[in-house]
């Protein structure tokens, strides 16, 4: 009798394991949202074969494709490295580098100890200085839940944290006309205050047209003289890309000046060759702007700096409006 029960139990466990594996295999890597104007594809944060599986970008609200009348606005090629490469409106907390903060608790942790990467989870520190391209070992990936409708999605991520640092992260995607909005919430659930910097990478590419003649990046205020604009021509409030970029470039718009963050909340990217444009707006003052560009994509990145004491919550929103029939960076006839 005992042997029979053991066999039955073993078979039951095997059946459950097979069912779980089949469920994972059948989970779609992307979900399609549409409101009749926009067709949007969003990565499923829990699919085994999701577009990005690395530890740099968050799987939350990872919009990969947006199309209007069948014409694409974002770069997210099928052929890519899912560990190191992403696309679309991929988001990240704490890029690091000389201008930005390192991930929460990274500085305080010794090599070999754990640190918190908001949006990803708890990672193991293996370098003295944070490097966004390093694939730090996962100690505990944050748990992400997603609810889907035909026109939107809601994400909730929890991370128990490490060294008294912890958080809850939420995001809500909504479609309204030709505008996609992502509203974020971040709560400090740990025992220590922290600062963090959030941005979306914004891999923009219009209908496959290489970045070059016809592409322009327009701001609402004149560009400072002390910026780094390699690969672009500065004219007032606009950066023009007059030739196809032979290699990737990194441009810097210095907006750290006290009290000027509000002037940089909005920007517009336009391609007069394809007559498409994207207008981006933020509800938070911008702490800094970086522009990563190559022939394959144009990525204007607006950073927001968030400071939270234990128990505090921050909310902010980014909106992306997708236009067609665009005549110039400042004149839209959509």
C-alpha gyration radius of the chain: 21
* Residue 27 pLDDT greater than 90, yes or no: no
Residue 259 has pLDDT above 80, yes or no: no
Q: Give the pair of three-digit tokens for residue 52.
A: 């990005």
> Cα 188 to the chain's mean position, in Å?
20
Could you tell me the two tokens for 267?
């920007």
Q: For residue range 176-203, list pLDDT tens digits in order.
A: 999 999 999 999 999 999 999 999 999 9
- Taking only the tens place, the pLDDT of each residue in 214-251 is 999 999 989 988 889 999 999 999 999 999 999 999 99
Local structure of 92: helix, strand or coil: strand
Please state the φ and ψ torsions of residue 16, each to the nearest 5 degrees. Answer: -65, -40
What contacts 244, CB < 8 A, 6 or more positions away? 210, 211, 212, 213, 295
What distances in angstroms separate CA 277 from CA 116, 170, 280, one per listed residue? Answer: 36, 28, 10
User: Structure tokens of 42?
Assistant: 């969003």
Q: How confident is the model at residue 19 (pLDDT cuts 50, 70, 90)?
A: very low
pLDDT in tens, 111-165: 999 999 999 999 999 999 999 999 999 999 999 999 999 999 999 999 999 999 9
Q: What is the rounded CA–CA span in Å between residue 307 and residue 104?
A: 11
Close Cβ partners of 154 (under 8 Å, ≥ 6 residues apart): 146, 147, 170, 171, 172, 173
Within the chain, how many helices (H) and strands (E) appear? 1, 24
Q: Does domain 30-209+299-332 have CATH number 2.70.98?
A: yes
| φ, ψ dihedrals at 264, nearest 5° | -115, 20
Q: Tell whether the model's pLDDT for residue 257 goes beyond 80.
A: no
314-325 mean pLDDT: 96
Whole-number pLDDT of residue 256: 58
């Amino acid at each position: 009798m005992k042997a029979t029960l053991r066999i039955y139990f073993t078979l039951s466990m095997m059946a459950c394991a097979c069912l779980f594996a089949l469920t994972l295999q059948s989970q779609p890597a992307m979900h399609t949202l549409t409101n009749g104007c926009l067709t949007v594809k969003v990565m499923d944060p829990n699919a085994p074969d999701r577009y990005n599986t690395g530890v740099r970008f968050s799987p939350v609200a990872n919009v990969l494709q947006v199309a209007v009348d069948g014409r694409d606005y974002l770069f997210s090629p099928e052929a890519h490295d899912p560990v190191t490469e992403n696309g679309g409106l991929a988001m990240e907390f704490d890029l690091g580098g000389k201008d930005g903060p390192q991930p929460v608790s990274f500085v305080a942790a010794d090599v070999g100890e754990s640190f918190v990467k908001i949006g990803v989870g708890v990672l193991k520190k293996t370098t003295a200085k944070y490097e966004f391209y390093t694939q730090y070992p996962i100690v505990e990936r944050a748990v992400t839940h997603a609810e889907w409708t035909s026109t939107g999605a809601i994400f909730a991520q929890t991370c128990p944290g490490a060294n008294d640092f912890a958080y809850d992260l939420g995001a809500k995607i909504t479609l309204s006309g030709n505008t996609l909005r992502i509203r974020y919430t971040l709560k400090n659930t740990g025992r220590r205050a922290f600062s963090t910097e959030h941005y979306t990478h914004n891999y923009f590419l219009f209908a496959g047209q290489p970045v070059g003649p016809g592409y322009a990046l327009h701001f609402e205020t004149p560009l400072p003289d002390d910026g780094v604009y390699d690969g672009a021509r500065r004219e007032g409030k606009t950066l023009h890309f007059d030739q196809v970029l032979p290699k990737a470039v990194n441009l810097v718009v210095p907006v750290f000046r006290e009290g000027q963050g509000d002037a940089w909340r909005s920007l517009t990217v336009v391609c007069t060759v394809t007559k498409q444009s994207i207008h981006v707006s933020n509800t938070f003052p911008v702490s800094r702007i970086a522009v990563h560009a190559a022939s394959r994509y144009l990525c204007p990145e607006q950073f927001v700096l968030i400071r939270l004491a234990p128990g505090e919550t921050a909310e902010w929103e980014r909106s992306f409006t997708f236009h067609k029939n665009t005549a110039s960076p400042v004149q839209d006839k959509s």
